[in-house]
Each structure stands twice: as structure tokens, then as C-alpha cells.
A and B are shown apart, each in its own frame.
Chain A
Amino acid sequence: MRIFLTLLAILAPSMAFAANNVTLSSLVFVEKAVPDGAGRKHIVLEEPKSVMPGDRLVFILNYRNAGRLPASDFVVTNPLPAAVVYQGGAESAQVSIDGGRNWGTLPALRVLEPDGRWRSARAEDVTHLRWVLKQAIPAGAFGKLSFRGVVR
């Protein structure tokens, strides 16, 4: 599985946007349990060379303000791929369970069960993640957002 980084801006800063030089890149890694030879297993993040149903993925979004002015009202939206179930790891994010129409925290969002009862949303209900950064990103600043998923 080759990773196609369509906008790996961090590694290619020359691909800057003409106006403001704010960049975003998306990376994905596979969590693998690697035996350490002493009977225990270490969890390591690997390039997604081998991806199977049930594998745990870690998505990482890197952003950087390479421009000369602060960037405000900074919002990163990430729809979950259909083949991936959200597994948490993005506690600072808002989530949506209805394709991005309504946002909130998991306990605050309600799901109507087939039997007519309402329950709190669970991680597997999540369709979209959204990070709303309250503070402006100063010129030259960078940061990282991440979440976990599992391949259906």
C-alpha cells in the first residue's frame, strides 16, 4: 500500500499557496503489535504497507502557518472514510453523526434506535470530525491533530 500524499506540504514547502502559505497534510499509520522477544508486545506505528480489516489506524493531520500573518478562525474538517470506524483519540474535536449537519460531543449527540428509544452516540456512529481552534495560529506556528480508527 503506497501512500499518496497529495498535499504533503510539510515535506514540500515550496508547494505553498500563493496567498498565505498555510499548509495541511494528512498521514496515516497502522498500529502493529510487535513481539519484543521477551514475551511481551510493543505497539508500534508503521507505514500502512499491509492493511487488513480489523487493523487499527492512526490518522495524523499536520498544519503549519508558513505565512507572515496569523491565521484565524482555523477549522479542520475530516469526514471519516466509509471503511473506517472512529476509535477515539480526538477528544478536542467536535464530532458529527449525521454527515456534518450537527456537531457536538459524543454524549451530547443522540441516536434514535430502531425500537424508538434514544441513546447517546457512540464512536462507531461518528461520520465527521471537526477541530475548531479558538486561537489564531501565529505566523510560523505549526501543530498536529490526530484520531484513531479501525478498518471495517
Chain B
Amino acid sequence: MSNIIKILAVASGVTAGVLGATPALAAGTAAGATITNTATLNYQVGGVAQTAINASNNITVDRKITLTVAEVGSATTSVAPGSSAQVTSFTVTNSSNDTIDLGLTAAQLSGGTAAHGGTDNFDLTGLGMFVDTNGNGSYDAGTDQAVTYLDEIAADASRTVFIVGNVPLTSANGDVAGVTLVAQARSGSGAGSQGAVITETSGANTAAMDTVFADAAGPASGDGARDGKASDDDDYTVSAPALTVTKQSRVVSDPVNGSTNPKLIPGAVVEYCIVVQNAAGSASANSVTISDPLPAQTSFVTASSFLNGTYTGSTPTGTCNLDGTAGGSVAAGTLSGTLGTIAAGTTRTLYFQVTIN
């Protein structure tokens, strides 16, 4: 801090370029600046010019602490279960008329409504705060530095701050984790260290520069209006596949009855259909691998397995359509096959036949 700039009006000879310029700054005249107004009176008495008279007064500009924290963008951060270093971004701005430090606190909601409407029901792990060191607006691990405060932020300057955390593998589709970032005005006590919390001047005006808080209330708990703090919230929403697996079987034929009312006698052919459904509104599932140990009393019918078929009706009473592509293999008594990407709201099957020994 101690950024006291004296603005002294000069009685004459001030260039128009300086005085005529209207700064575009929101913060305005620096805290502690002295505004001196001087008027000069010239006059004559009896036709004789008299000594000019000056009159002046000084006022000192107070320190107005205004700061804001604003989420970058207005959408939730979509994350997958088990993913690491997931980012929410905030812009922290010092609109005060003084250089200050900004203490930072990242917190997680504990229940309640998150920033984008969902209900908070899980926490991230390893939560950290990073400043956008290289100023490119996106989090770069190893480049952007971990911070607990922003040092020596000039009037009207801002920084991008990232909250970074890991998503537990146990989280499910639609789970929401709300986070908040709080910035608190602290004295710009010198570069390299965090200054003391700035307090508002209480009671009557003092001869020195006074401090007045002019910040608005924020969504974080404990961030009221005019408390030298600012905050905003954001959230993470888990986007995961919601898979259900159903297995159904049907006797196709037997050696005695053929395909008419076949019975489960030795030599009968049985078809199996493994149905994988991905619920609507969830994330696509990639590389879904199915492993099915074949019963010891059965033998796999060579080249009878088909992948990625469709399914008509609802499990377990629907029909497994024979429209897949040949695929899958048997090794050590286990049939395995890999289905393609299963988008939300779609169903894919693995179909195969065995004979009863």
C-alpha cells in the first residue's frame, strides 16, 4: 500500500492535456490523494492594482474498497468420475482506488443449491487455487502457480483464479459439487507477503485517509455487503454413463422337436442375449467390454456371436434382434466381446448360441 500520490493543483501553467483528460478508470483518484483548490483574486483600488489574494483548501480522498469475484462463463464444469485437475475459473478484480492484496479462500458447499441450480451432494478432493500466471485464461498445470492470495493488485487490475480439484471415482451421473471463491481486501504491505486484513474506519472522520467498504454481498456464506469481501460460486456436474446389463436366454431348437416347442434336452441349441442399456441424460460409454463365462454344461456354437445388435421392447421380455456384426471370441471357457460407443438412451447387445452337452 502506502501508495499515496499527491495531486496538487498548480495555480497556473498546467497544461490542458493533463487537466482535460478524463481517466477511464473505475477506481478513480488514488486513495490518500490531496485535492487542493486555489482561487486567486486580483483587483484594483483607486486605479492601482493591489497584491493578489489567494485562497485555498485541501481535501484528502478516502480509500474506497471495492472488489469483485465473478465466475468466468455461466455454465457448470462437466466432469467424469475419477478425473483429476478439474477447473472452475473466476475473475478477481480490484476496483478500489488503492493497490491492495487480495486474500483468497476456496470452499465447497455442504448441501444446498449450487451455482447452476443443482443440489450439492459431493465434494472434490485435493482442492487448490491457482492464478493464471501466463494470462492465457486457461489452467496450465505446472505453469500457473498455486496461490492463497493475490499480491499487490493495482487499482482496476484483475486476475484470473482457478479452483482445481479431483473428482471421486464413486461419483455418479448428475452429481453436483458446488464451490465458492472468496476474496478479501488486505493491505498491500509490500510485494511478496500478504498484508493484514483491511478494516473500515469506524466512528468519526479522521485527519488521515479513511477506509470505506463499498463492496456488494456475494453468494458465499459470510460475504455480506460492505465487508471488504467479494465472492462468487460455480459448480461441477458429473457426467457419467448409467449402464444396466440384462441377460436373457431362449431355447432355439432341440434334436427331437426341432424348432417347434423345443425343450432343454442335451443337444438343444440355446441363444443368449446380453443387453447393455445406457440411460437417457447420461454420458456416452466407450469401450464397453463384456465377459461371459460359459456354463460348463454347454458348448459354444462356433461363429455364433454377434456384437452391437439392437433390441426391441423392454428387458427382459423384449426381443434380441439378429442384426449385429460377427465378433467376440471364446478363450478358456469365457466369451468376451467389445461393444462400440453406447450413447445416452441407446441399447446394444451381445448375442451368441450354445448347445447343451
Selected from A20, A26, A72, A82, the residue in CB contact (under 8 A) with B14 is A82
* 10 residue pairs from A and B, CB less than 8 Å apart: A3-B59, A4-B56, A5-B55, A22-B43, A51-B35, A79-B10, A85-B22, A97-B16, A124-B22, A127-B19
Contacts of B49 in A (CB 8 A): 73
Query: Chain B: which residue is nearest A151 at the CB level?
Result: B29
A79-B9 Cα distance, complex, nearest whole Å = 7
Query: Chain A: which residue is nearest B54 at the CB level?
Result: A7
Query: Chain B: which residue is nearest A82 at the CB level?
Result: B7
Would you call B39 and A24 a contact (CB within 8 A)? yes
Interface size class of A (residues with CB under 8 A): 35 or more
Would you call B57 and A80 a contact (CB within 8 A)? no
- Number of A-B residue pairs, CB cutoff 8 Å, is 180
Would you call B62 and A81 a contact (CB within 8 A)? no
Does B169 lie at the interface of the complex (its beta carbon under 8 Å from any beta carbon of A)?
Answer: no
With A7-B55, A50-B212 as given contacts, are A78 and B62 in contact (CB-CB < 8 Å)? no
Interface residues of A (CB under 8 A from B): 1-7, 9, 17, 19-20, 22-28, 48-54, 57, 59, 61, 63, 67, 69-85, 97-100, 111, 124-127, 137, 151-152
Would you call B45 and A152 a contact (CB within 8 A)? no
Would you call A53 and B56 a contact (CB within 8 A)? no
Does B81 lie at the interface of the complex (its beta carbon under 8 Å from any beta carbon of A)?
Answer: no
Would you call B205 and A50 a contact (CB within 8 A)? yes
Query: Chain A: which residue is nearest B207 at the CB level?
Result: A2
Query: Chain A: which residue is nearest B95 at the CB level?
Result: A53
A69-B28 Cα distance, complex, nearest whole Å = 46
- Nearest CB in chain A: distance from B172 CB, A: 51
- Nearest CB in chain B: distance from A55 CB, A: 9
